[in-house]
Structure 1
């Protein structure tokens, strides 16, 4: 047959005398090959060569009308033949058979070349849109292929069973082939968006099938419930192919919205899941047994592992769904409610079980309780997983796309669950401190009242031996997070016992200096013990408010009276700086330093509190330089008394002979005390204010010359009274009953306490 095709020009020469032109010879070969191709396909690469020969010769020679009609007939026949093959290209040219793909490529090349041939334009003037014919062919062939595939995979027509999942999976595979194998061929040869054309049709066809599947059974059985999620997972994967369509096109696809079809089923399943999860929690607790770790010590029980396993399955299910985040909040709320409800049920059952053992009724001395350790560890084990739900469900992204109300509901539910877990755990663990309290008190008494000849490290040995013994047991039996909580609880109880020895027993007596030195050294050793070279409590955890108060009081006890008084005034000055208003009025003053002289002008006061029965006061101001250690020769001075007024105008100037160095000393200040003058009784305290000398003109700006005192801007100071009746410095000074300076200072300050 091939021989006949090759020798067609010779046969034509016999029929038509004269030499054949190159175009006639090319025409003869193409016509002969076309006749053969219509019966038995030839290699399309050779057909492309024949078309090339015709186009090449067309530039030089011409054909008769009869020959053009003959060529047009074969052009049309070959076009129809090739389009027919493209209509069934999936069956004729399998994607995983490379030789077949080569044949398909050259068929497409033939069609592309034919559409650009001048010969084709001349002979077939009304049939130029080969590209449009290819697209139409694909649109006709895709539904046929889809129906054929469905019939082969789902033999039971009209019924949807597990084979429907296989069908969806097979469609997914074919789309993968379309994207990776067929699309490059069609687009590269003819510029046809093959995948867009095919996927849009499959999107409609597949959507109809899925909706029919969901509507087939009004009262689905459990097997259908399982099947529906398998179908969703397949359809979800099919929808992802939409990402390969051109950006910005009006595609109007259905599969990307498939979650809307399945949302009622998922919501129903989550409702059922909640009841099953609660039941599984109860069953897990009933069948629980201890779990052992690598160190063979009990850490938690199987019920905690089973509960977390339930939550892991729910988490993995949610990840598998890959629900669109913009539409996920309602379902995620159901899922979170399921997890939180099951977690809280587990916490309640565990807590109640420990309560029934009588654990919460036990008193000291402390003894390690396995039931306590297991219960606390079980709760901590479950708590740790629940605390990670915020990351598992990507709350960061949800916050940006969900409404504020819906997102707040999610976070509130999760926070409430975590908070209740923490309360349960702390209720269990905080019993350790009270059970140790008596032993800690005895050990701390030994520390405080040991002979002076016994070094402090030796004195704290009984305390540390007791703590080391029991803390080692707790460390082995508790999870690290729980041991940290217990360690902090024991630390606070140990601090409290040190504080009790420091102030609780002999607060009104003056202790020897060595007493507080020992307690301060013991506190430093306690910090080192509980820190345990970074293996115990962190420095931040230990240095809480209670620690600072104790450490501060010990420092106060070790400080002499004069320095304590200076520290007290320094705190009052700081309080002055932080006070912007108050109920005791204000005082306006000026102060500056010039030529070894401190000038202070008391201008006026406003809104002084009434201290006389007539509703007024008789105010005057006492000016005093503090601390006395810095200004030993400067006596206090005072203004004149102004009768029956709450807004006195003093306008008095006072001068103190001091040096610049004195004014610049740390803590140097002016104390203004407003008093109410009484004739028959002691003067009443109305308020006080403090001004740091380091801030006044002539001190703050050394070298500046002040010529006009009255040109300086007045400073308005808020008058204050004292409210801390239990101020630690005053308490310590009061305990120094043999110290006259301390006694007089405390007496003076007590007169300045506010009545309210």
Structure 2
């Protein structure tokens, strides 16, 4: 069966057989309960021996019927409340409707029923309180589904027009939030913890968490459904605002360089301010916060869209402006602690955008150095030996850096015969510091995955160069091919600041004797969408950037 006005299924609103007797039976229970309470006038020893003390056991079969009646009445009243739904008038802070008031009143009546029931056996009341919670939660979800359907029937999701504050949407999400909040205190109002303690003491199995999960799982599930429904409705706000935000962000990004960022961003801030002020007045604080989150995310995405693309068309001042705009937007949405907290504004999305802006602002040489610094950190944290291990030693003495490549083991096979012909290239980084030092390489070791090199190399460098922040040795293991290009087998990094002779804590040394071997796990770059490489690749007119990206793409793991 369907309610013709709301399209509501009514089959579930039919009372079970025998439920019509529930009201009179409950009245009898209350009368007996009142009679039993008179035992307080008897001597204590007589109170314990009364047969009527266990009166509640007589009514156990009736409790389910009472629950059925409570659920039926709640569902029926919620359906009727939506048929007669009106927006509340008067001096309310924000708008809501009569149906939300009626729904929470239904919940109150069910809780009042439980209070009057005052079931004496706490352990035995566990199953009953589960049913009470299920009854209220089912009614709350039922209400949210009907209310959402009513909004959907107005064409809310299909409306193609530009964003404007929708009063019915605001009332709907406020109603849902009122109902959701009424569920939040349900556990406390029903004294659930007391019941759980009694169950744990009676069973002695220490499974209180299991009992708690079974009970609160119903409540959490209903709360999550209401939250999801609110978010579904509110997500439409930011989606409809996005075209206007995109246009305003474009104006900000491509305004004349002579126009200060604070002026270029004005159209964007004015648009946001006009609509957010109206939404703030119409929504409950929690709902307005949800809107702010969505709109903030859209602003970040649109700013990112303007930032990305062909960097050849953009100069440094372009990214400086976007970076300044990002900080202005953070202040706007934070609103002197009246808006979103800074820790929420500076989300993972924010940091990705901020990082990419920093990359775009950085010159190519500096960006390449930053990439290698990240690879050095990868080296320090990697534990995987899937590409093999390289053993080396190094020390500094009298303006000379001595590097010994000892051996490698478990090098990956790159030839059809199941072996490789490995050799190692040694390079000092950053190139700006060691421009005079050409890379050197070992001899090729044929048909092996465990090559023995035992070769020493010397680089003429100063101690100051070795102590430059980020100075390092790059070891690249390659597979030698005669007819085709050499294949990349793995790379490893060694910080110069930690080697004997450079590290101030190490004594001077003049040979490899007694020097500890350093084992470096060989690595491949596994991030195909590395932000630095993407930034450099976008610099189509920059030969250094393009050459570096081409070289690194050969090192990305398939």
How does the TM-score come out when normalised to structure 1? 0.65
C-alpha RMSD of the superposition: 2.8
Task: Report the 3-state secondary structure (helix = DSSP H, G, I; strand = E; otherwise coil) of the residue aligned with 1:360.
Answer: coil
Q: Distance in 1 between matches of 2:456 and 2:38?
A: 90
Within-5 A mapping of 1:84-103 = none
1:258 is displaced (CA, Å) by 5.8
Partner of 2:468: 665
Partner of 1:424: 229
Instruction: Please say if residues 587 and 719 of structure 1, whose CA atoms lie closer than 8 Å, have aligned partners that are also in contact.
Output: yes
1:496 is displaced (CA, Å) by 1.2
Partner of 1:226: 27
Within-5 A mapping of 1:254-269 = 260-269=57-66
Instruction: Determine if the alignment matches structure 1 residue 468 to structure 2 residue 468.
Output: no
Evaluate the alpha carbon distance shift between residue 582 and residue 322 of structure 1 in structure 2; reply closer, same or farther with a 3 A threshold: farther
Q: Distance in 2 between matches of 1:613 and 1:228?
A: 87
Evaluate the alpha carbon distance shift between residue 318 and residue 656 of structure 1 in structure 2; reply closer, same or farther with a 3 A threshold: farther
Partner of 2:368: 565
Task: Report the 3-state secondary structure (helix = DSSP H, G, I; strand = E; otherwise coil) of the residue aligned with 1:541.
Answer: helix
Partner of 1:742: 545
Evaluate the alpha carbon distance shift between residue 240 and residue 630 of structure 1 in structure 2; reply closer, same or farther with a 3 A threshold: farther
1:708 is displaced (CA, Å) by 7.6
C-alpha distance after superposition, 1:48-75 (max 9, x if no partner): xxxxxxxxxxxxxxxxxxxxxxxxxxxx
Within-5 A mapping of 1:171-182 = none
Q: Distance in 1 between matches of 2:83 and 2:97?
A: 11
Q: Distance in 2 between matches of 1:614 and 1:370?
A: 73
Asked which structure has the greater CA Rg, the reply is 1
Evaluate the alpha carbon distance shift between residue 227 and residue 596 of structure 1 in structure 2; reply closer, same or farther with a 3 A threshold: farther
1:668 is displaced (CA, Å) by 2.1
Instruction: Determine if the alignment matches structure 1 residue 519 to structure 2 residue 322.
Output: yes
Q: Distance in 1 between matches of 2:80 and 2:289?
A: 31
1:297 is displaced (CA, Å) by 6.3
Q: Distance in 1 between matches of 2:230 and 2:381?
A: 40
1:343 is displaced (CA, Å) by 0.5
C-alpha distance after superposition, 1:221-252 (max 9, x if no partner): 7344224135336647968999x89xxxxx88
Match of 1:305 among 85, 101, 104: 101
1:552 is displaced (CA, Å) by 0.8
1:704 is displaced (CA, Å) by 2.8
Evaluate the alpha carbon distance shift between residue 674 and residue 396 of structure 1 in structure 2; reply closer, same or farther with a 3 A threshold: farther
Partner of 2:260: 455
Q: Distance in 1 between matches of 2:384 and 2:159?
A: 52
Partner of 1:341: 138
Q: Which moved more, 1:710-719 or 1:464-473?
A: 710-719
C-alpha distance after superposition, 1:418-461 (max 9, x if no partner): 12112211111101112111111111111011111111111111
Evaluate the alpha carbon distance shift between residue 220 and residue 488 of structure 1 in structure 2; reply closer, same or farther with a 3 A threshold: closer
Task: Report the 3-state secondary structure (helix = DSSP H, G, I; strand = E; otherwise coil) of the residue aligned with 1:537.
Answer: coil
Partner of 2:9: none
Q: Structure 2, unaligned stretches of length 5 or more?
A: 1-19, 201-206
Within-5 A mapping of 1:357-436 = 357-394=154-191, 401-402=199-200, 403=207, 404-436=209-241
Evaluate the alpha carbon distance shift between residue 224 and residue 637 of structure 1 in structure 2; reply closer, same or farther with a 3 A threshold: same
Q: Distance in 2 between matches of 1:241 and 1:567?
A: 86
Task: Report the 3-state secondary structure (helix = DSSP H, G, I; strand = E; otherwise coil) of the residue aligned with 1:564.
Answer: helix
1:412 is displaced (CA, Å) by 2.1
Instruction: Please say if residues 620 and 640 of structure 1, whose CA atoms lie closer than 8 Å, have aligned partners that are also in contact.
Output: yes
Evaluate the alpha carbon distance shift between residue 239 and residue 751 of structure 1 in structure 2; reply closer, same or farther with a 3 A threshold: farther
Evaluate the alpha carbon distance shift between residue 639 and residue 260 of structure 1 in structure 2; reply closer, same or farther with a 3 A threshold: farther
Instruction: Please say if residues 239 and 255 of structure 1, whose CA atoms lie closer than 8 Å, have aligned partners that are also in contact.
Output: no
Instruction: Please say if residues 414 and 479 of structure 2, whose CA atoms lie closer than 8 Å, have aligned partners that are also in contact.
Output: yes
Instruction: Please say if residues 619 and 676 of structure 1, whose CA atoms lie closer than 8 Å, have aligned partners that are also in contact.
Output: yes
Instruction: Please say if residues 391 and 408 of structure 2, whose CA atoms lie closer than 8 Å, have aligned partners that are also in contact.
Output: yes
1:675 is displaced (CA, Å) by 0.5
Partner of 1:172: none
Q: Which moved more, 1:576-585 or 1:557-566?
A: 576-585
Within-5 A mapping of 1:675-714 = 675-700=478-503, 702-705=505-508, 709-714=512-517
Task: Report the 3-state secondary structure (helix = DSSP H, G, I; strand = E; otherwise coil) of the residue aligned with 1:326.
Answer: coil
Instruction: Please say if residues 240 and 256 of structure 1, whose CA atoms lie closer than 8 Å, have aligned partners that are also in contact.
Output: no
Give the aligned length.
528
Q: Distance in 2 between matches of 1:594 and 1:241?
A: 101
Q: Distance in 1 between matches of 2:336 and 2:94?
A: 26
1:334 is displaced (CA, Å) by 0.5
Partner of 1:274: 71
Instruction: Please say if residues 170 and 283 of structure 2, whose CA atoms lie closer than 8 Å, have aligned partners that are also in contact.
Output: yes
Higher helix proportion (structure 1 or 2): 1
Structure with the larger RCO, 1 or 2 (CA within 8 Å, 6+ apart): 2
Q: Structure 1, unaligned stretches of length 5 or more?
A: 1-218, 246-250
Q: Distance in 2 between matches of 1:235 and 1:536?
A: 56
Q: Distance in 1 between matches of 2:211 and 2:230?
A: 29
Q: Distance in 2 between matches of 1:309 and 1:342?
A: 12
Partner of 1:110: none
1:635 is displaced (CA, Å) by 2.6
1:346 is displaced (CA, Å) by 0.2
Q: Distance in 1 between matches of 2:25 and 2:239?
A: 58
1:710 is displaced (CA, Å) by 5.0
Q: Distance in 2 between matches of 1:588 and 1:293?
A: 80
Q: Distance in 2 between matches of 1:237 and 1:693?
A: 89
Q: Distance in 2 between matches of 1:715 and 1:399?
A: 58
Instruction: Please say if residues 432 and 486 of structure 1, whose CA atoms lie closer than 8 Å, have aligned partners that are also in contact.
Output: yes
Instruction: Please say if residues 22 and 69 of structure 2, whose CA atoms lie closer than 8 Å, have aligned partners that are also in contact.
Output: no
1:588 is displaced (CA, Å) by 2.2
